[in-house]
Structure 1
Amino acid sequence: MAGGDNGEARSWRRSKTLIIFTATLGLFTENFLYGFVVPILPYMIEKRLNLDPAYTQRFTTELLFILGLVSVPAAPIIGHFADKTTSRKIPLLISLVGCTIGTLLVASTPSVWAVYLGRILQGISGVGAWIVGFAMLTDAAGPKHLGKALGFSGSFITAGVLTGPVIAGAFLQWFGYWAAWSVPLIFIAICFVARLAIVEDRRPAQTKVSTTAALDRDESSPLLSSDAYRNEREVVAPEEAKTQHSRGFYSIMFSQGSTYAALFNVAAFSLVISGFDTTLPVHLREEFGWRSAPIGLIFLGIQIPSMFLAPFVGWLRDRVGLRWPTTIGWAVSTPLFWFLVVPGKDNFLGVGDGARGQAAFAVTMVGIGLAWSFARGAGTFQLTMIMHELKAKDPNVFGPGGGSSRTFSMTETSFAIGLVLGPLLTGALADVVGFYYATCALACVSALVSINSWIYFTHKAPVREPLADEEA
């Protein structure tokens, strides 16, 4: 009986449900931390570090910029080793330890350099969590249900982006500094418990298993994705595997023209997000006199629509492809970015900075959130489809280790480039010529991505790889 109970416990701990929950929770926490620090940064800079308020915009730009800067070289390195390791649990735990140390350094703010070091650790750890977490998620879902899986996880990821600044601003104003920081630390603790609970089957990346041995494996083992199970069931000659692997993952992926369009979409989206994070808090304080709580709440308008629409958008992408939803999302965003500068003290178009102006600003943010629901995650989806299409034609095209982690390292690198460029572009423009030109720059980026999406994004449902039980 005891042996049966232990077997049931291990079966639950290696279930696909736990895998998806753990990966999604990690992605939620990383986004929560990124958004959390945005409305609290002015307080950290001016009150805890005792710096002149005139430097607030500059240090806000630098602290958001550095997160992307360290991610650019870290992503391909982490993706390379993540595809080679036989365990995804270990990289996830290491990333969480780094995230914990970095968060404690940022929260305690003992000095400017300690805060920078904390942001660097958060950036590297976040890259690891994103790459490995998304690889776990997509492998478990398979290409047939990729849109729904990314849509489901996207709702929670968006919830992290949404609740981060809201909780930071509200808790800071109502309960104090450390009460605010206790929330992300609690989420990190829950992540530790979930990641320790996982019991992994050995991934087949490093081992060749015969068809008989694969068939003898416990059929209830749900950690095996379609890709992993396919690798076990197919007997690959060593010479063939070596030849396929020698072609190089990145050379194969970059031979596809739509790869560039997908990465451009990812980079543009993160550029706009980080550009908002860099300039909005200071702009809202100067134009409307808002404090941390309402500044945090304004991010609700841009995130809530995405949280609720993400499953529908994922379903839509599974049915009609990416071209129409993504193009429309970016195209509608373009004029809305420009309209953000209308409400304000300058009384542009007679809107003003009173109740009507503030309401107009909030409604515009909601409109952007609705439009972004159709563009969010499109680049990642497109790149993942490219990977699955190549593997459907040749299961060994990326070698025995597969390509999931390296695929997400590409999207993470592109996202990091956007995180670098966003604060530099909008922060510099806001400092030199004002918020108006910063948002106009974002509108131009949005228009370019809309055109790029229409030309290069696929207009068909994802290719479905055969599942293991269908191959028999």
Structure 2
Amino acid sequence: METENESKSSSWRASKTLLVVTATLGLFTENFLYGFVVPILPYMIEVRLKLDPSYTQRLTTELLFIMGLISMPAAPIIGHLADKTTSRKIPLIISLIGCTIGTLLVATTPNLYAVYAGRILQGIAGTGAWIVGFAMLTDAAGSKHLGKALGSAGSFITAGVLTGPVVSGALLQWTNYWTAWAAPLALLGLCFIARFAMLEETTTKEIKPSTVDDGAVDETAPLIAADSSNGGQTIHGNEESKQAPSRGFYSVMFSIGSTYAALLNVTAFSMIISGFDTTLPVHLRDEFGWRPAPIGSIFLGIQVPSMIMAPMVGWLRDRIGLRWPTALGWLCSAPLFWFLGVPSQDNFLGVGAGTKGQAAFVATIIALGIIWSFVRGAGTFQLTTTMHELKEKDPNVFGPGGASSRVFSLTETSFALGLVLGPLVTGALADTVGFYWATTALAVLSGLASISSWIFFTHKAPIKEAEGEEES
């Protein structure tokens, strides 16, 4: 009776639903923390650290830049180590502890060095959570539902990046400093609860040479276990194939054009998101005279349509592949990015910065939110599909540990690269030649991503799991 109750109580803890929720919550939280400090940094630098306001812009750029910078070398190392362990739960908990310590260092701001150390720790821990969380998500979803899972996860990731500044700015303005920090700390608390509640299935993939004990004799077996088709060398042939050395992960992946196209998709998407974080608030304040509340709400125009459409887009990808949705999504985004820079006080094309211009800007943002549903998460999906295709041809191609974590270390590195390049490129263009040219650069980037997606992305449904795997 007790065993039956225990099995009932543990069944929900080992369910795929909880695994997906835990992974998605972790991904949302890590990206929420990236953007959360954007509007609160000036207060930390000038009020809590009592530094001269002339240092604010430089320190803000450095503290945002360093998190993406530290993730790039950390991701391959973490991915390699994660593929060496069969546990997902332990690395997730370790990354959560590191992220909590880093967040407390940033929030308490005892001195400037501690803030830098906190951001570095957040970057490393966030990279670990990203890689292991995505690997756990794909393991739980399976190949059949991979498109829907990654599409929904991509929506929550972008929601974290975009809503972080909105929440911190509103709470700091309407309440106080520590009430603002209560939001990310509460999210970290929820992550702890979910990760400790989660139970992993113990799946051992050991090769068993025989079901008979070494000392026992199987009387039904032939005296010579040989196959006439290969001259009696079946046993040795099998042993050699099992022991065949795996090929290098990076040499295999980077010999395929779809890998480069997928990484370009990830980097381009990250550049645009971080570029919006950098340039939109200043542009909307200077051109339209908007205050923090409407500036924050404009990010919802990007996010809400994408979240609503994510399951439908995932379903579409699972059935027709990635090439058409992704290439067309990027292609349609290009003119929309260009038009974002048109409404301004320069009255370019007669749009202006009045009610007409502001309405045109908001409509363009909402249209981007809809179109972006088709490109969100496409790079990660393509990399994962490529990995599954390679493993389908040769199960030993990446070794017995597989390659899920290293695949997501590639996406994390590319995403981090975008977080570094986005503010640098768009910020520099907006400062020197104006917001119009910053959005024009994003339009050109969208065009390049569309071309590469059309040439290299998969034009078929992803590999389906076998019935037995699906049910397990």
Q: What is the alpha-carbon distance in structure 2 between the residues aligned to residue 36 and residue 211 of structure 1?
A: 56
Q: Which has the larger radius of gyration?
A: 2
Once residues 303 and 318 of structure 1 are traced to their aligned partners in structure 2, the CA distance between those partners, rounded to angstroms, is: 22
- The superposition leaves residues 155-198 of structure 1 with CA deviations (integer Å, 9 ceiling, x where unpaired) of 43344344323322222222222212111110100100111112
Kindly state the Cα deviation for residue 48 of structure 1 after the two structures are TM-superposed.
Answer: 3.9
Offset at 1:83? Answer: 0.7
Residue 36 of structure 1 is matched in structure 2 by 36
1:84–1:401 CA contact under 8 A, matched in 2: yes
Separation of aligned partners in 2, 1:61 and 1:159: 22
**For each residue in 1:107-166, what CA deviation from the matched residue of structure 2 results, as whole angstroms up to 9, or x when unmatched?**
233333332222211111111111101111111121111112222333433443443233
Alpha-carbon distance change, 348 to 186 in structure 1, aligned in 2, over 3 angstroms: same
Change (3 A) 1:351 1:40: farther
Assess if the C-alpha contact under 8 Å between 2:151 and 2:376 holds in 1. Answer: no
Root mean square deviation, CA, Å: 2.6
Alignment of 1:288-327 (within 5 A): 288-327=288-327
Do the aligned residues in 2 keep the contact of 1:241 with 1:400 (CA within 8 Å)? no
Question: What residue number does 1:217 align with?
Answer: none
The residue identity in structure 2 corresponding to 1:460 is: K
Show the counterpart of 1:10: 10
- Segments of 5+ residues of structure 1 without an aligned counterpart are 214-235
- Alpha-carbon distance in structure 1 between the residues aligned to 2:415 and 2:438: 20
Instruction: Name the CA shift for 1:289/1:103 in 2 (closer, same or farther; >3 Å).
Output: farther
Partner of 1:240: 241
Look up the match of 1:198: 198
| Per-residue CA distance 1:242-280 (angstroms, 9 max, x = gap) | 4242x1111111222211111111111111111111222
Structure 1 runs, 4 residues or longer, greater than 6 Å off: 210-213
1:426 matches 2:460: no
- The structure-2 alpha-carbon separation of the partners of 1:210 and 1:275, relative to structure 1 and needing over 3 Å to count, comes to farther
Q: Residue deviations 1:289-319, cap 9 Å, x none?
A: 3333322221111111111111111011111
Q: Give 1:112's aligned amino acid.
A: L
What's the counterpart of residue 72 of structure 2?
A: 72
Q: For the residues of structure 2 that align with 1:405 and 1:448, how far apart are their CA atoms? A: 28
**Secondary structure of the structure 2 residue equivalent to 1:243:** coil
Residue of structure 1 equivalent to 2:172: 172
d(CA) in 2 for partners of 1:128, 1:178: 27
Query: In structure 1, what is the Cα distance between the partners aligned to 2:333 and 2:46?
Result: 34
Note the 1:280-429 alignment, pairs <5 A. Answer: 280-429=280-429
What SS is found at the alignment partner of 2:145? helix
Deviation string 1:31-63 (CA, Å, 9 cap, x unpaired) is 222232334344444544455556554444332
The CA deviation string for residues 176-221 of structure 1, in whole angstroms up to 9 with x for no partner, is 222121111101001001111122233436x4457969xxxxxxxx
Q: 1:64 to 1:212 in 2, by over 3 A?
A: farther
- Unpaired stretches in structure 2, ≥5 consecutive residues: 213-236
Residue 233 of structure 1: aligned partner: none
| Change over 3 Å in CA distance of 1:282–1:51 after alignment to 2 | farther
User: Does the Cα contact within 8 Å between 1:305 and 1:366 map onto a contact in 2?
Assistant: yes
SS in 2 for 1:464: coil
Measure how far apart 1:372 and its partner are: 1.2
Alpha-carbon contact 2:263-2:379 (below 8 Å) kept? yes
Normalising by structure 1, report the TM-score.
0.88
How do 1:60-139 and structure 2 match up within 5 A? Answer: 60-139=60-139
2:308 is matched by which residue type in structure 1?
Answer: F
Structure 2 CA distance for partners of 1:34 and 1:109, relative to 1, 3 Å: same
Distance 1:290 1:26, change over 3 A: same
The aligned residue for residue 22 of structure 1 is: 22
Counterpart in the other structure of 2:234: none
- Per the normalisation by structure 2, the TM-score is 0.88
CA distance in 1, matches of 2:148, 2:376: 14
Matched residue of 1:13: which SS?
coil
Change in Cα spacing, 1:289 to 1:108, as seen in structure 2 (3 Å) is farther
1:272 corresponding residue in structure 2: 272
Aligned residue for 2:464, secondary structure, equals coil
CA distance in 2, matches of 1:102, 1:190: 17
Aligned residue number for residue 189 of structure 2? 189
Q: How far apart are residue 346 of structure 1 and its match? A: 2.7
Contact 1:169 1:295 in 2 (8 A): no
Q: 8 Å contact 1:330–1:375 — kept in the other structure?
A: yes
**Paired residue type of 2:21:** F
**Could you tell me how far apart the structure 2 residues matched to 1:46 and 1:178 are?**
16
Change (3 A) 1:362 1:141: same
Contact residue 39 and residue 292 of structure 1 kept, 8 A: no
Show the counterpart of 2:226.
Answer: none
Amino acid corresponding to residue 199 of structure 2 in structure 1:
V
- Contact 1:57–1:282 at 8 Å: present in 2 too? no
Give the distance between the partners of 2:434 and 2:470, measured in 1 at CA: 59
Matched residue pairs, number? 449
**Which amino acid in structure 2 is aligned with residue 71 of structure 1?**
S
* Aligned amino acid, residue 122 of structure 1: Q
1-side partners of 2:394 and 2:354: how far apart?
Answer: 61
SS at match of 2:40: helix
Measured in 2, the distance between the counterparts of 1:8 and 1:209 equals 31
1:23–1:136 CA contact under 8 A, matched in 2 = yes
